[in-house]
Amino acid sequence: MPNATVRTTCVVAGGGPAGMMLAFLLARAGVQIVVLEKHADFLRDFRGDTVHPSTLEMIHELGLLDEFLKLPHQKVERLAGQIGDRHVVISDLTHLPTRCKYIALMPQWDFLNFLAAQGRRYPTFDLRMQAEAVDLIEEGGRIVGLNARTPDGTLTVRSDLVVGADGRHSTVRGKAGLVSDDYGAPMDVLWFRMPRHATDDSETFGHVEPGKMMIMLNRGDYWQCAYVIPKGGIERVHAEGLDAFRGRVLAMSPVLGDRIDQLRSWDDVKLLSVAVDRLRRWWRPGLICIGDAAHAMSPVGGVGINLAVQDAVAAANRLAGPLKAGTMSDADLQAIETRRAFAARFTQRIQLTIQNQVVSRALASTQPMKVPFAVELLAAFPVLRRIPARLLGLGIRPEHVRTPDVLAAC
Ligand SMILES: Cc1cc2nc3c(=O)[nH]c(=O)nc-3n(C[C@H](O)[C@H](O)[C@H](O)COP(=O)(O)OP(=O)(O)OC[C@H]3O[C@@H](n4cnc5c(N)ncnc54)[C@H](O)[C@@H]3O)c2cc1C
């Protein structure tokens, strides 16, 4: 098979939220960029479907919000939970200081296709699908490019900067020898769809019972369901059989009784393995990791996409000028890590606390669940629901696009 070599300013491995947002912003700022995505399209089973208020705000700042919101989506203004027989609203986003006071639930492939379409408006944007980064090229202690496997043979990309945005199982970070700390997760998630009827409740909510947890996201004509099991518990679930699993689901959501038989085989139920980790150092000369490649996020709170996007914005802000001028230095890479590591560390700490205090306890419990004190406070004082809303909707240290092209337009 023929091999090819291209030369660019920046190559991004991974066309997820982090990689596509960074590629779009850098291309827009006039930086030559190649993005490699190992899959043929963005149409994958599950990629997390949440677009957060801070991301929507940024899209607004770029003048693209009206076009973006034409894509089909559902709005989530409040998040609720059922603990035993108590129903509690946990978070109220309607007071956020943003244009969109809600989380937009949108298939992630629509979000990524939107970013790809925006990127393609710029001649500096080069997205290659079915291109899997497999190796780094190192010269004199510096990363100067990578090799990718494509259907046409090996593609060599030489560049001033390699960005690892290839997610939780990042090849780039492994090949770069970057070391991560693993914080563990007590659960995995079984992910499946159920039809949603017009007469169903419209709320997106979580339900906790002794030994069981399930989340249902309203996706218009279907429910996206996440059934939480103890880490590594899939073999037991399989051994108990599909009927037993259907029964567990119904015990959590009786409303699905008239359609549970649409869960026909284990092929309809995907196992999503949960990991939480963070790199000790996100970069080395010529290379940086962002998004889950730098800090794999737990699904708790559904904030990983937002963090990945915010990393991309911070990286674009810092790098666009130096990459264009050919003056990028290690200090730029360190500055991105310093800025974003705080947000990642803080958010992961909250996720780990919830994993340990709520998820682990619920999954291990055989007694009726007590509503945690913090949740009682949210139930008693609705104004307090603005706090989790801020953490979920905006995150820690929300970013705004400050690339030279945007600043020049101000
Ligand atoms: C069960 C579960 C549920 C979750 N639910 C949510 C949620 O609802 N909301 C939320 O905000 N977050 C959620 N998260 C977290 C969220 O999925 C991640 O934090 C987020 O996707 C990170 O984005 P990313 O761009 O860094 O990586 P990814 O989304 O993982 O994207 C990486 C991309 O790189 C590609 N790739 C991988 N390797 C290579 C390679 N070698 N070469 C080229 N391409 C490659 C992949 O195909 C992929 O497209 C969930 C996580 C889990 C485990």
Evaluate whether 293 touches 315 at the Cβ level (below 8 Å): no
Written as one string, the DSSP assignment of 325-349 is: HT---HHHHHHHHHHHHHHHHHHHH
Residue 157 Cβ < 6 Å to ligand 1: no
pLDDT at 46: 67
Is 317:404 a contact under the CB 8 Å cutoff? no
18 Cβ closer than 6 Å to some ligand 1 atom: yes
Q: Separation of 19 CA from ligand 1 center, angstroms?
A: 10
The pLDDT score that the predictor gives to residue 115 is 97
Give CA–CA dist 148/143, Å, rounded.
Answer: 15
Cα gap 48→292, rounded to integer Å? 13
Half-sphere exposure for 383 (CA within 13 Å, toward CB) = 0
Per-residue model confidence (pLDDT) at position 327: 98
Closest CA to 182 of 276, 292, 282, 307: 276
- Count Cβ atoms within 10 A of the Cβ of residue 307 and give its class: 0-12 exposed, 13-18 middle, 19 or more buried: buried
- Counting every residue written for the chain, the total comes to 410
Confirm if 165 and 10 have CB atoms less than 8 A apart.
no
Contact between 7 and 137 under an 8 Å Cβ cutoff? The reply is no
CA 47 to ligand 1 center in whole angstroms: 6
In angstroms, what is the span from residue 46 Cα to ligand 1's centroid? 9
- Considering only CA atoms, which residue is closest to atom 1 of ligand 1? 272
Output the CA–CA distances (angstroms, integers) from residue 95 to 1, 91, 282, 303, in the order listed. 57, 10, 35, 19
> CB atoms < 10 A from the CB of 142, how many?
13
Q: Residue 184 Cα, ligand 1 centroid: separation in angstroms?
A: 17
pTM (2 d.p.): 0.93
Ligand 1 contact, 161 CB (< 6 A): no
Question: For the chain (length 410 residues), average pLDDT per consecutive 10?
Answer: 88 97 98 97 78 94 95 90 82 94 93 97 98 98 98 97 96 98 94 92 80 88 92 94 95 92 94 94 98 95 92 98 98 98 96 90 84 83 88 90 83
Neighbours of 341 (CB within 10 A): 18
Q: Are strands 205-209 and 74-76 parallel, antiparallel or unpaired?
A: unpaired
Find all residues with CB under 8 Å of 406, minimum gap 6, and list them: 29, 61, 62
End-to-end CA distance of the chain: 49
Angle at 184 between CA 183 and CA 186, to 5 degrees: 145
Is residue 393 in contact with ligand 1, taking CB distance under 6 Å?
A: no
Q: What pLDDT, on a 0 to 100 scale, did the predictor assign at position 84?
A: 77
Please give the structure tokens belonging to residue 339.
């800025």
Residue 305 CA: nearest ligand 1 atom is 11
